[in-house]
Structure 1
Amino acid sequence: MLSLRHLALASPVCLVLSLAACGGGAEPDLGPSESELAVIAKSPGVGRERLAMDFADLFDENQGIGETRAAMVMHGGEIVAERYADGYDADTRFISWSMAKTVTAVMIGMLVADGALELDEPAPVPNWQRPGDARAEITLRDLLQMRSGLDHTEAGDPPYESSEVRMLFLDQRDDMAKFAEEQPLEAEPGEKFEYSSNTTVILADIAADVLTDNSTDPETRRKAVDTYLRTRLFEPLGMTSMVPEYDAAGTLIGGSAIHGNLRDWARFGEFLRNHGSYRGTQLVPRQWIDFMLEPSPPAPFYGGQIWLNTQASDPQDSLYPIDKPKGIFAAIGHMGQYIVVSPKQKLTIVRLGHSDSEQRRALLRQVNDVVELYPTD
């Protein structure tokens, strides 16, 4: 519902009607405050006051959206809104949670471009290559599109028995990939969609094996992946704040744990919006980004380690209600981390904070208010 100050910008008639409905009570707030306007660029590409109010709503806990700690809007490659909650600033590193999955997918794409991996060949996991092991049919594409068929449980009841929690926090945290790769099939590879942080750790393990010629030395593995990410992705994009985490076996916690500041997460979103290009340099082939944005056959709302709005009219979709324009995609992390990208609007929106599942629905409605301000090309 629009507030009175939103109505004030809409039309004089709306304002009169809203005041009448209120019975002539307290004087209404007729627009954004000076502090709300101060975080908005002079020429943001839409009405500055309206953007200021909609952007401010992302920080208004009275909207039932949880706690926003940092947020940014970029339009046409320029920052048009940037704000931090008390206690946070431009130097604060925020944990990615599952936004890291999208970073891992880009790394895999670079290795495919290097000729080190093949998208539609069996995934090079040694334990799956034994005679008679049906997991040998799992391809890299299956893993990237979350349809490996492996028996992984992202959220269970009780939570501490789920594959994800055991892998990240409990008895399997020292060698996450070993645990993820040991699980049996529960479906034919390619047939069933199941979102899984364990699956992305398998992808990170594959990357480490390729980069180290299957070394089992944790420091060798960690250093190889860290150097590859830094030299091939983070440094070229100017993402100097990025700090990936690794488990005791030296495997990137590629589904859950990369830290970076707000501006660097926005840089990553812009890199995706520009189809893997940055300042004229193609860091990953455009075809790879096309693949990442191709719907997973069992789940049209998901691509290659990234969420799509191809089915966002469904309340169960993770981008609902952001359904227009088509082509919007997002890296999404636990507790309400979002990089929302709309190529048709030249728009990237980043929100970092802490929201439960119910609050995230309200939060996405507020993000959608910002999206709807901008025209399509």
Structure 2
Amino acid sequence: MPGVSSLPRSTPEDQGLSGAALDAFVVALDESEPEIQTVMLLQHGHVVLEEEWSPYRLADPHLLFSVSKSFTSTGVGLAIDAGLLALDDKVISFFEADELPETISDNLAAMTVRHLLTMTTGHSEDTVAALSRDRRMVKIFLGLDVDHEPGTVFVYNSGATYMLSAILQRLTGERLFDYLKPRLFEPLGITEATWQVSREGITVGGWGLSINTESLAKFGQLLLQHGAWEGKQLVPAEWYEAATSKQVPNDHQENPDWQQGYGFQFWRGRNNTYRGDGAFGQFVMILPDHDAALIVTSATGDMQAIVDTVWDHLLPALEGKEVTPVARPDRLELPPPTGPAPTGGDGQTYRFAENIVGLTAVRLDPDGTGTFSLLGVERDSDGPTEIVCAGGDWREQSSNGVLLDAVAPEVQRVVTSAYGDGDAFVATIRWLETPFVARLACRTADGQMTIDVNLNVSFGPTELTLTSE
């Protein structure tokens, strides 16, 4: 059994695997189009592969996006085991009259906890965008039209997971994160976790959890062990059996590994696998036939490509098939962009109106460095945070700046670098506890600065232009 502080390590060969085959998998990840940041593989409860692509680190917390949903599912399972609720309890039964719409439709009245868990609430689209319009997210959700009979249509719905968190908070008197701390996080030795809280004071549930790669691997091992850890049954085995099984069909999804059925906040995949996954390539993938768990943090708009690499290169290794040896690079890294040294600026501070990037001001100094000010994570109490960019290797610093409203720990590691491209000062900023990378090409003329912004991944546009006031 894995220990609380860290998971045991083993050579691949001691667990019946070929080290050369795992090397070939790492090379395939390194050469693939998706940008891989960290990876960890467990087999038989032992870490047999752990890699980080510098400047990313396995030990850093990482924003998991919708992998958070699988942790929310765990909280629901614990609450059901404690007798606090049941799968077929009606959603409206947990809320007060002033939170409910004046007219309760038949479909809303029929919606149950089970429907929230299986993304079959009856809504025609994800409700999360609607919920973001106001701090009263519970009230908004309950007031939305429910177009279909609950249980009949699968529609991926992060708002449904938010409602599970809200229900648990009503029942337990504490936020989901706090409810899970003594029951899940502390027994697993997960101490670095943070989880976003909504403006109405509820753990958001469907997104917003940050933990490091090994902590996510511990969760994967807990799943493999059917909820048992260190001789204790932390989560009922029956819950994880149900949660990771196909509860509803989702054949209309676009990619093959998103068409294999959906459980209680877990995806089924090909090759008898299941997983929690999050936007831009965050994965905890469980391969029960091989007693294995794979953790990946990455930055990509093509998550299927990562899964395909697993089937093409890791699955044969787990099956013991012969693999042609390949030469691994001496160092796994994501180097800074290269180019001429940035030219000096005019030293003026250019300010920007409110924008979706969160950029407030930029100053390009004569010595070829640039200072970029970003809104702080806690907008009500923190002023702008400054990030300095200069030529050469990655420059590491701490920041509480926020890009594109991405929620992350208040202070996190960032690295920056810059180069010159004609009349442009081109800065690259990596937020190392998220997938996000920004490229900012700054030009000044006639007393104004124009910045062409390119983002590697985004829920909105990836390219836009900002002009100073």
Is TM more than 0.5 here?
A: yes
- Counterpart position of 1:268: 219
Indicate the structure with greater helix content.
1
2:56 match: secondary structure: coil
- Counterpart position of 1:197: 158
The amino acid of 1:167's aligned partner reads: L
- Counterpart position of 2:85: 117
- Counterpart position of 2:334: none
Change (3 A) 1:370 1:129: same
**Which of 318, 321, 334 is the aligned partner of 1:374?**
318
TM-score, normalised relative to structure 1: 0.74
Aligned-partner Cα distance in 2 for 1:225–1:146 = 19
- Counterpart position of 1:347: 292
Question: What is the count of residue pairs matched by the alignment?
Answer: 296
- 2:134 equivalent to 1:183: no
- 2:264 equivalent to 1:304: yes
- 2:111 equivalent to 1:138: yes
- Per-residue CA shift, 1:318-375, capped at 9, x if unaligned? xxxxx22x2x100010001111101121100011010113xx2221111222123213
Change (3 A) 1:248 1:271: same
Change (3 A) 1:364 1:297: closer
- Contact 2:101 2:142 (8 Å CA) reproduced: no
- 2:204 equivalent to 1:253: yes
- Counterpart position of 1:363: 306
Indicate the structure with greater strand content.
2
**Which of 75, 94, 97 is the aligned partner of 1:107?**
75
- Per-residue CA shift, 1:53-73, capped at 9, x if unaligned? 21232233xx22x21111100
TM-score, normalised relative to structure 2: 0.60
- Counterpart position of 1:6: none
- Contact 2:61 2:192 (8 Å CA) reproduced: yes
- Counterpart position of 2:131: 167
- Per-residue CA shift, 1:122-148, capped at 9, x if unaligned? 123425597754212111111101111
**Which of 176, 193, 197 is the aligned partner of 1:242?**
193
The amino acid of 1:181's aligned partner reads: L
Aligned-partner Cα distance in 1 for 2:297–2:138 = 28
Q: Once the 2 structures are TM-superposed, how far is the Cα of residue 107 of structure 1 from its aligned partner? A: 0.2
- Counterpart position of 2:171: 210
**Which of 56, 63, 75 is the aligned partner of 2:43?**
75
- 2:23 equivalent to 1:52: yes
The amino acid of 2:235's aligned partner reads: V
1:98 match: secondary structure: helix
- Contact 1:147 1:192 (8 Å CA) reproduced: yes
The amino acid of 1:201's aligned partner reads: Y
Q: Once the 2 structures are TM-superposed, how far is the Cα of residue 270 of structure 1 from its aligned partner? A: 1.0
- Counterpart position of 2:62: 94
How do residues 58-69 of structure 1 correspond to structure 2 at under 5 angstroms? Answer: 58-60=29-31, 63-64=32-33, 66-69=34-37
- Per-residue CA shift, 1:95-139, capped at 9, x if unaligned? 110000100000000000000011122123425597754212111
The amino acid of 1:338's aligned partner reads: F
2:14 match: secondary structure: coil
Aligned-partner Cα distance in 2 for 1:42–1:84 = 21
Between the aligned residues of both structures, percent identity stands at: 24
- Per-residue CA shift, 1:23-49, capped at 9, x if unaligned? xxxxxxxxxxxxxxxx96563531111
Aligned-partner Cα distance in 1 for 2:29–2:202 = 35
How do residues 1-16 of structure 1 correspond to structure 2 at under 5 angstroms? Answer: none
Where structure 1 has 5 or more consecutive residues not aligned to the other structure, the ranges are 1-38, 155-162, 213-220, 310-322
Change (3 A) 1:139 1:129: farther
- Per-residue CA shift, 1:272-291, capped at 9, x if unaligned? 11111112211111111111
The amino acid of 1:373's aligned partner reads: A
Which region of structure 1 is more displaced relative to structure 2, 297-306 or 120-129? 120-129
| Structure 1 residue ranges, 4+ long, deviating more than 4 angstroms after superposition | 39-42, 127-132
- Contact 1:177 1:198 (8 Å CA) reproduced: no
1:237 match: secondary structure: coil
- 2:303 equivalent to 1:335: no
Change (3 A) 1:132 1:198: closer
Where structure 2 has 5 or more consecutive residues not aligned to the other structure, the ranges are 1-9, 251-259, 321-469
**Rg larger for:** 2
Q: Once the 2 structures are TM-superposed, how far is the Cα of residue 260 of structure 1 from its aligned partner? A: 0.3
